[in-house]
Amino acid sequence: MAKQYDVIVIGGGPAGTAMASGLKAQGKSVLIVEADLWGGTCPNRGCDPKKILLSAVEAKQAATNLQSHGLAGIPKVDWPALMATKRGYTNGINDGTLNGLQAQKIETIHGQAYFQTDGQLTVDGEVVNGTDIVIATGQRPAILPIKGHEYFKTSTDFLDLDAMPKRVTFVGGGYVGFELATIARAAGAEVHLIHHNDRPLKEFDPELVKALMANLTTQGVTFDLDVDLKQITKTATGLTLSDGQGFKLDTDLVICSAGRLPNDDHLGLENVGVTVGRHGIQVNDHLQTAAAHIYAIGDVSDTPVPKLTPLAGYEARYLVGELVKSGAAITYPVVPTQVYASPKLAKVGVTAVQAAKAPTKYRISSLDMTKWFTYYRLQTPQALAKVVVDRQSGLIVGASCLSEIADEMINYLTLLIQKQISLSEMQKLVVAYPTPASDLQYLY
Ligand SMILES: Cc1cc2nc3c(=O)[nH]c(=O)nc-3n(C[C@H](O)[C@H](O)[C@H](O)COP(=O)(O)OP(=O)(O)OC[C@H]3O[C@@H](n4cnc5c(N)ncnc54)[C@H](O)[C@@H]3O)c2cc1C
Ligand SMILES: NC(=O)c1ccc[n+]([C@@H]2O[C@H](COP(=O)([O-])OP(=O)(O)OC[C@H]3O[C@@H](n4cnc5c(N)ncnc54)[C@H](O)[C@@H]3O)[C@@H](O)[C@H]2O)c1
């Protein structure tokens, strides 16, 4: 007879594992199903491996900035050794995650989950029943349907390259394109980034994106804007990319970085009336799908927030609460988001573009921080910020930063915004000097 659980979680990534652990801690019987690698995208083929590769890029950039200022000689990225370091981390994720789940007495099955009826799934033929079912199946890289699309590789392939090819091209100027282009260039490749219009990273401040692109261009990345790629052809020496309008580019590796697709198309959702849209599984403000006992969280769900690891965990924690004792609708805090290029581009809250539309409500400060002590010390060529302050309250409500330490600054700014900390409240704190935190008061 099929085994019955309080909750079945589909997907063993950050959303699914947080969900399973939270439910188990509340005394629920839980089964979690994973079709591929336990741990999901973030630690196996996303955030973490990318940031390990970026460590060498950051160190190389820091040394480059200090040439003639106390350092002589720019270090070279040793790709095989860097990749070995990355694999030293990623190779342990699958077993480590699985062992962690089992240590919590969460039941696990490896296989592809498929809905038969509301409350019943098969996993590679085995039937299991759940009172509630949570879908946390994430996203996968989209592949543009152009001629020769079979030659496209993805971020997953890039993050596990044995050797860095001489010429690498990215198609799509979003997070993945910018981040991996930065890594490929620092590792010595000739890098092109093709974008179909003239506004890559379109949700970020246009002036800061321009400044980032100028910096990356100086580092040797070529941006091919307004190019609508139509074809990839294999040649004797590599690949040729063309748009059929005169653009031609020879390359060795082409990565499709034109977005990600929700994993909602292989679950049998049509059998249970769960509806999907362009951005994933449709849910209400309790993360409930069109079927009463089926929920969706993390990257696969169509929620009004970016698709990021901390939000996968946030939604899981909310839904654990919901399944234990039904309560209020989900609300989201301010969400920082950043592009781990070199320098890094980060934003949180109200953007300068939004603020400019309401000049009586907001004041925008555009700051060049390059000469501030923190950046002078590091000799960083770019340190820019835009800060949006609510005129009436004097509180910071939004910020964008472009610098080597923007990822740290944006978290401080998130804290100031979310907790509504005023300048006078901030000045009641003593923080260590000289540090990025001691610069914060200058941002108001
Ligand atoms: C290159 C890259 C870099 C990124 N960098 C960052 C970053 O720096 N910061 C950040 O916050 N976010 C980053 N992200 C996004 C982050 O990885 C995701 O937001 C996060 O992994 C989402 O978690 P999830 O659990 O919803 O989905 P996933 O991590 O994708 O997990 C879903 C799991 O479900 C499994 N699955 C799918 N279908 C089935 C099925 N039918 N049955 C059973 N299992 C199934 C999949 O195999 C997968 O393991 C990055 C993503 C990529 C691709
Ligand atoms: N640092 C981070 O937090 C981080 C890093 C990587 C990924 N992610 C997550 O993964 C998601 C996906 O990232 P992504 O970079 O793959 O997607 P994205 O949606 O951020 O960017 C894709 C880009 O490709 C462009 N594009 C679309 N069609 C194109 C075409 N035909 N030719 C050229 N360009 C085209 C789009 O205009 C867009 O700028 C992100 O939205 C984010 O949620 C986050």
Six-digit token string for 383? 């340190």
Distance CA 78, CA 163 (A): 10
Measured distance CA(86)–CA(93) in Å, rounded? 11
Q: What are phi and psi of 294, to 5 degrees?
A: -120, 130
**Quick one: what percent of the chain has pLDDT higher than 70?**
100
pLDDT > 80? residue 316 = yes
Q: Is 149-258's fold the same as 343-442's?
A: no
Where are any strands of DSSP class E within 119-234?
Answer: 120-123, 126-135, 139-141, 167-171, 190-194, 221-224, 231-234
* Residue 406: how many other CB atoms lie within 10 Å: 29
pLDDT in tens, 34-47: 999 999 999 999 99
Class of domain 343-442 (CATH, top level): alpha beta
Q: What is residue 402's predicted lDDT score, i.e. its pLDDT?
A: 98
Calculate how far, in angstroms, residue 211's C-alpha sits from the geometric centre of ligand 2.
19
Mean pLDDT of the region 186-208: 98
Structure tokens at 362: 């907001």
Mean pLDDT for 404-424 is: 96
Assigned architecture for domain 3-140+261-324: 3-Layer(bba) Sandwich (3.50)
Mutate to test the pocket of ligand 2, among 175, 180, 192, 340 (most ligand atoms within 8 A of CB): 175
pLDDT interval class at 326 (50, 70, 90): confident
- Point out the ligand nearest to the CA of residue 178: 2
Q: How many CB atoms lie within 10 A of CB 339?
A: 24
Query: How much is the mean pLDDT over the chain?
Result: 97
Give pLDDT, residue 43: 98
Ligand 2 site, residue 177, Cβ cutoff 6 A? yes
Q: Is 15 exposed, middle or buried (0-12, 13-18, 19+ CB in 10 A)?
A: buried
Q: Of 404, 378, 385, nearest to 443 (Cα)?
A: 385
Domain regions of the chain by residue span: 3-140+261-324, 149-258, 343-442
**Cα–Cα distance measured from residue 384 to residue 250, given in angstroms and rounded to the nearest whole number:** 35
* pLDDT of 1 strictly over 80: no
Numbers of helices and strands, H then E, in the chain? 14, 24
What is the C-alpha separation between 57 and 55, in angstroms, rounded? 5
Note whether ipTM > 0.85 here. yes
CA of 259 to the centre of ligand 2 (A): 4
Which atom of ligand 2 has the smallest separation from the CA of 307?
Answer: 43
Confidence of residue 14 (pLDDT cuts 50, 70, 90): very high
Q: Residue 400: in which H helix or E strand, if any? A: strand 396-403
Confidence of residue 444 (pLDDT cuts 50, 70, 90): confident
Euclidean distance between CA atoms 355 and 252, whole angstroms: 43
CA separation for the pair 444, 316 (Å, rounded): 34
Please give all residues whose beta carbon lies within 6 A of any atom in ligand 1, as ranges.
10-16, 33-37, 40-42, 46-47, 50, 112-113, 136-139, 155, 176, 263, 266-267, 298-299, 307-310, 312, 340
Distance CA 219, CA 200 (A): 18
Cα separation, 35 vs 276, whole angstroms: 21
- Nearest Cα to Cα of residue 117 among 284, 268, 300: 268
Cβ of residue 341 lying under 6 Å from some atom of ligand 2: no
Does the model's pTM come out above 0.80? Answer: yes
Distance (Å, rounded) from C-alpha 18 to C-alpha 20? 6
Q: What is the DSSP letter of 147?
A: B
Tens-place pLDDT, residues 151-184? 999 999 999 999 999 999 999 999 999 999 999 9
Provide the pLDDT for residue 103: 98
> Backbone phi, then psi, for 368, in 5-degree steps?
-100, 110
**Least distant ligand from the CA of 202:** 2
CATH of domain 149-258: 3.50.50.60
Mean pLDDT of 348-368: 98
Query: For residue 337, is pLDDT > 80?
Result: yes
At 108-150, the pLDDT tens digits run 999 999 999 999 999 999 999 999 999 999 999 999 999 999 9
